[in-house]
Amino acid sequence: MLTTLSGPSPPPADDSLSRHGLPLPGVSPWRAGWPLKPDAGQRRGSPWNPKGHLRPRREPGPCSLRRRRMGPAEPMGLHSRECHPKGGRGRDVKACSTLDAASGGSESSEKAASSVHSADDGKSNGRPGGALQQGSDPAEPAEAGSEAAPAAGPPGLASVVMGMRSRLLMIVQVVLDWMRKLPAWQRQRHLRKLQAESDAAPGDAEAHTRFLVQLNEVSPGEVLQRVDSGKYATSSAVVVEYLKALVHTGRLSEFANDRGMATGDGHRSLPKLLHDLQVLSGGGEIDLTPGGTSRQPLYVSLDGMAAQPAPGLMSLFLGFFKWLGVLAVFCFLWLLGSGVVKRISMQNLPQGGLPTSVRDKSPSLAPKQFVKEELPEKSLKTFNDIKGCPESKEELQDIVEFLKNPEKFTRMGATLPKGVLLVGLPGTGKTLLARAVAGEAGVPFFYRAGSEFEEMFVGVGSRRVRALFNAAKKNAPCIVFIDEIDAIGSSRKHWENQTRKTLNQLLTEMDGFEVNEGIIVMAATNLADTLDPALTRAGRFDRHVTVPLPDVRGREEILQFYLNNKPVAPDVNVAQLAQQTRGFSGAELYNLVNESALQAAKANEPLVTKELMDVARDKIMMGTARKSLVRTEESMRRTAYHESGHALVALNTPGASPLHKATIVARGNALGMVTQTPGRDEYSVSRQQLMARIDVCMGGKVAEELVFGKDHVTSGASSDLHQATTTAEHMVMQCGMSDEVGPIYASNRGDLSGEVQKKIDAEVTRILKEAQVRVMKLLGDKMSDLHKLAKALVERETLTSKEIEDVLDGGERGGAVSAGLS
């Protein structure tokens, strides 16, 4: 049986091709009898042998179906079947002609077929079976008597187009088959996504419903299985899909009878639902008696609620980053909005920028300017308000005079000082002097505090220094005041880099490459020794003005100035008060006057009296009286003897300061106190005065030892011993008042050798022991006065120097005091 392979029919043969000796379209050159020259078959570039190799010959079998070598225009997939008799080389011409006809052979193949039929009628050439030489190997010449087919030419353009058309149809068919499968694949993928969402949230009825709607179109049976499993949340939409699945699967008839109905079924039971529908369709009513079923409960209970799965670690991380992102967006919008508002507000400001009154309070980079016209009259200060430091005031008055009348100085070739550094202890009035200069100068006055230059941002300090001096250059001549300059001007050896940049910028602005004419820099500090040497040198701070503590005359002037606007009683002696406030600064004197006025207001007194001034002074020097302290009579008696010992030693020791007051009222950490006031200001202390101070310190301990015994001495003398030891070390180490150690000065014992330290310890111990012996002898002789004074202190608690004189024997004590003070 022969198999016929069909294919597209080639176009008719072209005679022009046959004339040139080329095979016809659709006919192999081997079957067409086209002779192949050996040199043509071996030549490279031949249309039938591009690589230049000889085609190997093979003997075909009796009947073989082989794939023909395609020509350029032959369609793919065509085969030729050669049938040969057993052992022969000829082929079955009828079968081959059938194959040629099935494969769309041309007219030449028809002619070949006719020749075959003629050969069957007996016109064979002697070959077995009457085989035709047309299908023989092209290398063999055709035998005599055989009828050769006309020569076929190369394939034409029509066959090429037909071949391309067949290939294009095959590609289109593959694409159409793939596109037909695409919707099913998409639907399957969508179903898997919905199933994953439903499985991830079993309690979400909406997600379950979305999955069941799509699943009902594909597999209604799986819908029934998922709902019957009870693992997923249900709703009215789920019930609808369940009913659809029952209809699609034909299982709705299973609920026609009442076999699924049970007593107590709730609203989630499908049989119950169908039963209720049947009752309503028949015109009946549903029993809604409370307590019958879970649908009509007596109380509300949550049954069958699907437990929500605990959130996993990934969900917690996602939630955290979601809120973090929301917070970041909010902060960004906040910063963006604040920047826009600031820009709009700055654009709406007047031409001159911020008002001066607001500029002073703003934390911007703009320098602060002192404007007299915008300040109240009480806030303005002049040199008339400066008391107690005439020399310092005179130094600054020269600066003001130079600014007011520069021709007076420039005619002699003098130039304006570049900087003035005010140095002094806290409270001496350095800032007050600067305010007086601002009020007197009559030129622009810019000011900044040292702490305002530095902030947490690097470079802000340098920028503010530049802004300060740029404003000063535009308003020259002017004064720039920097308060507490040690905040930025300390030595650069141990500073951080950003703080060092601020100081370097200040040094450059004061005396750098660019010359600043007409700018005077004033600065104030309490720590002049910590400033950088490059800052304090001449050319930057030409003048160093020391503001000292006021002397007795200065204190009197300051007290009188502050008491001018207060109601003062006639018994207030300002000169005596000035003597009693030795060592007070101007700020402490103002505090003294203000505190006395507060005490007068609390006591509803019309005037500030001497007694109120003493109370204020004691409060400042010793602290507030602890009147609520609970003390025993024995404790007060012991304290009275202790303070009486101090008072008696002070009254009877040559070189001791005059006694001011003795009290056993607890103030601060002290249970009692004896105060002494020198008669005049002392700028140097003699050895006699230092020894007298040590003796007075020893008076309390010695008095307790003499009255109560050595075993009953209390720890109240610890502060006295500390003060006596410090004074003795000062005498030996810094004043050279020891013959054993010699005239040395040492601020720290670590700088001395061990041998010298031993000598110092021995000398200090000797001085303290000798003082103890002298005080013990003195109080032993004055035992009666000690008892009188202690008894008076227990009764009155506080005694002034005059009251102490009245208590003691006037004649004997007075002679001793006169001798001690002479």
Residue 290, preceding peptide bond in cis (omega within 30° of 0):
no
- Give yes or no: 643 in active site: yes
Find out whether 737 and 691 touch, Cβ atoms under 8 Å. Answer: no
**Catalytic residue among 643, 704, 705, 729, which?**
643
Of 602, 621, 599, residue with least CA distance to 610: 599
Find out whether 749 and 729 touch, Cβ atoms under 8 Å. Answer: no
* Rounded Cα gap, residues 757 and 743, in angstroms: 14
372 Cβ contact partners less than 8 Å away, ≥ 6 residues apart: 380, 438, 439
* Rounded Cα gap, residues 684 and 696, in angstroms: 19
Pair of tokens at residue 268: 């989630």
454 Cβ contact partners less than 8 Å away, ≥ 6 residues apart: 460, 461, 487, 488, 498, 499, 502
Residue 199 buriedness (CB in 10 A; 0-12 / 13-18 / 19+): middle
Residues in the chain: 822
CA angle 160, 166, 172 (to 5 degrees): 135
Pair of tokens at residue 821: 């003070």
Find out whether 206 and 238 touch, Cβ atoms under 8 Å. Answer: no
Residue 712 buriedness (CB in 10 A; 0-12 / 13-18 / 19+): exposed
Beta bridge partners of 64: 82
**Which CA distances in Å does 9 have to 12, 562, 583?**
9, 131, 132
CA angle 293, 294, 297 (to 5 degrees): 90
Pair of tokens at residue 453: 């230059």
Pair of tokens at residue 784: 């009666």
CA angle 193, 199, 203 (to 5 degrees): 125
* Rounded Cα gap, residues 622 and 506, in angstroms: 43
* Rounded Cα gap, residues 676 and 695, in angstroms: 14
Strands (E), 305-398: 368-370
Helix-helix angle 754-781:783-796, to 10 degrees: 80
* Rounded Cα gap, residues 790 and 642, in angstroms: 8
Q: Which residues are catalytic?
A: 643
